[in-house]
């Protein structure tokens, strides 16, 4: 039962353009969502998060949007840079225990 889904395994974007990574979830109990960036053979690096009481959170080039009614969140990267090329995971959690449920990941490739 995949509670967090990233349906696009890969995305290719031109440098300077916007990258939009999508994530869907099924569990309405989730109250906190996070995006991580990961390179091969390395641990995930935290990028940005959002609480379910908000619909948008922005940090520099990264913005996360949350649509609770659609159970959908997205990560926007503007402008995209070649160094952004990596696998991006969305994750969700719903209790004080903090257990994260991860999506399958989307591999972003930003071409110069």
Partner 1 sequence: GAVVSQHPSWVICKSGTSVKIECRSLDFQATTMFWYRQFPKQSLMLMATSNEGSKATYEQGVEKDKFLINHASLTLSTLTVTSAHPEDSSFYICSARDVGQPAKTQYFGPGTRLLVL
Q: Which uninterrupted H or E stretch holds 65?
A: strand 62-67
Give one word for 34, left, alpha or beta, with left for phi > 0 and alpha for psi -120 to 50. Answer: beta
Distance from C-alpha of 38 to C-alpha of 47, rounded to nearest angstrom: 10
Is residue 65 near partner 1 by the rule CB under 8 A?
no
- Does 100 contact partner 1 by CB under 8 A? yes
* Number of residues forming the site for partner 1 (CB under 8 A): 21
12 binds partner 1 (CB under 8 A): no
44 is an interface residue for partner 1 by CB under 8 A: yes
Instruction: Give the pair of three-digit tokens for residue 40.
Output: 């091969």
| Position among 1, 41, 53, 112 found at the interface with partner 1 (CB under 8 A) | 41
32 forms part of the interface with partner 1 (CB under 8 A): yes
Smaller CB distance to partner 1: residue 15 or 109?
A: 109
Write b or e for each residue in 11-30: b if 16 or more Cβ atoms lie within 10 A of its Cβ, otherwise e. Answer: bebeeeeebbbbbbbeeeeb
89 binds partner 1 per the rule CB under 8 A: yes
Residues at the contact surface with partner 1, assessed by CB under 8 A: 32, 34, 36, 41-46, 49, 89, 93, 97-105
């Amino acid at each position: 039962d995949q509670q967090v889904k990233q349906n696009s395994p890969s995305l290719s974007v031109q440098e300077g353009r916007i990258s939009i990574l999508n994530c869907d979830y099924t569990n309405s109990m989730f109250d906190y969502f996070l995006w991580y960036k990961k390179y091969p053979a390395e641990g995930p690096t935290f990028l940005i998060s959002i609480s379910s009481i908000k619909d948008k959170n922005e940090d520099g080039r990264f913005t996360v949007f949350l649509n609770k009614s659609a159970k959908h969140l997205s990560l926007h990267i503007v402008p995209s840079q070649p160094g952004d090329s990596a696998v991006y995971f969305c994750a969700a959690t719903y209790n004080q225990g903090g257990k994260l449920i991860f999506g399958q990941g989307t591999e972003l490739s930003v071409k110069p």
